[in-house]
Amino acid sequence: MTGVAGFIGSHLSAHLLAAGDTVVGIDALTDTYDPALKLRNLDELIPHPAFTFHRADLLEADLSRLLDRAEVVYHLAGQPGVRRSWGRDFALYTRRNLLASQVLLEAVRNHPLRKFVYASSSSVYGDAPAFPTAETVCPRPVSPYGVTKLAAEHLCELYGTAYGLPSVSLRLFTVYGPRQRPDMAFARLVAAAQSGDPFPLYGDGEQTRDFTYVRDVVTAMRDAACSRFTGVANLGGDRPVSMKQAITAVERVIGPVSLDPRPGRPGDARHTGADITLAARAFGYRPRTDLLDGLAAMAAHAAIPRRSSIERSPSPNGSA
């Protein structure tokens, strides 16, 4: 698994280990946000006898060694964030989202994989013309980030056509839950409600998002890997809400949120909403977590102070 120390990667690893799988995790621990937070994400994984961690950049790693005996590859590594993908930083997004994916696909193209699972994004749709949005809608990204995620999807399809690589690209719709990246909306909302600091609200608050709980996402990822399905599928929460409604939900769970209204920013889609019919049919996907329950889990996790055991030990198990 690439991106193993990230928000989704750490949850997926725990899910796979609980299912009896062996996980070889790779992560460069980049500074997209505090690497100490990523190290803490590995705390419960490192002691597990079926888990090994390698700190490595995909563009520099000995992938043939790391992929030895792999049956499934989950590719979650990448440079996140819509708003930062403009201008000079686009080179970084190209390197980490596109070039790194190509190098990994090259490494597995002749490998007898059962499945290559790529974590794509709803950002590929941009301002979609229809809601809920099905996979048949022509993608029209409105951010450079979305462009790189779509290009990596195309690479997966190309390697499937040219080399028979069985790949699944899962378009994730606004995943939230404990350990969410600190720059994402719900993480900032929960922090604002708990601290009393103002929450910067971009736009008028009427923009909608299809919030998807992380446990539902990682369950679907393994189900997709175990299925016969190949191609592209949406993973959404099946119940889009506006940012105003999201703020109200956080206030119900935690308490009042002070708002700092700001203008909308380039690259932010006005609305997102997933048609999950294909995923339901292909590998039994069904989101089960209520928004208030998911937010309560986030709030409980955020209230617990943590210090990573890896921070106290300079040599993680199996690190490269």
CA distances from 156 to 58, 116, 139, 173, 193 (A): 16, 8, 16, 19, 41
Q: What share of the chain is helix, strand, coil (3-state, %, to 5)?
A: 40, 15, 45
How does 79-89 read in b/e, with b if 16+ C-beta sit within 10 Å? bbbbebbeeee
State the Cα–Cα distance between residues 98 and 57, nearest whole angstrom.
13
Give, for 92, the enclosing helix (H) or strand (E): helix 90-93
**pTM of the predicted structure, to 2 decimals:** 0.92
pLDDT at 264: 86
State the Cα–Cα distance between residues 7 and 301, nearest whole angstrom.
13
Q: Give yes or no for a contact between 8 and 16, defined as CB atoms under 8 angstroms apart.
A: no
At which residue do the structure tokens 């499945």 appear? 115
pLDDT at 18: 98
pLDDT at 83: 87
Q: Give yes or no for a contact between 9 and 1, defined as CB atoms under 8 angstroms apart.
A: yes
Beta bridge partners of 88: none
Phi and psi angles of residue 160, each rounded to the nearest 5 degrees, phi first: -70, -45
Per-residue confidence in pLDDT tens, the chain, 320 aa:
999 999 999 999 999 999 999 999 999 999 999 999 999 999 999 999 999 999 999 999 999 999 999 999 999 999 999 989 999 999 999 999 999 999 999 999 989 999 999 999 999 999 999 999 999 999 999 999 999 999 999 999 999 999 999 999 999 999 999 999 999 999 999 999 999 999 999 999 999 999 999 999 999 999 999 999 999 999 999 999 999 999 999 999 999 999 999 998 887 888 899 999 999 999 999 999 999 999 999 999 987 654 444 443 433 333 33
Give, for 204, the enclosing helix (H) or strand (E): none
The token pair that represents 304 in the structure block? 């617990």
CB-based burial label for 158 (10 Å; 0-12, 13-18, 19+): middle
**Strands (E) located in 2-43:** 23-27
Angle at which helix 214-226 crosses helix 7-18, to 10 degrees, equals 60
Instruction: Report the first-to-last Cα separation within the chain, whole angstroms.
Output: 15
**DSSP letter (8 states) at residue 197:** P
Q: Give yes or no for a contact between 262 and 201, defined as CB atoms under 8 angstroms apart.
A: yes
**DSSP letter (8 states) at residue 118:** E
State the Cα–Cα distance between residues 64 and 14, nearest whole angstrom.
24
pLDDT at 58: 98
Closest CA to 220 of 172, 179, 152, 265: 172
Domains of the chain: 7-178+212-239+273-288 (3.40.50.720)
pLDDT at 313: 42
Closest CA to 288 of 136, 262, 297: 297
pLDDT at 308: 45
Of the residues 145, 176, 213, 285, only one is catalytic, namely: 145
- Is 145 part of the annotated catalytic residue set? yes
Q: Give yes or no for a contact between 133 and 277, defined as CB atoms under 8 angstroms apart.
A: no
Helix (H, G, I), strand (E, B) or coil at 242: strand
Amino acid at 74: Y
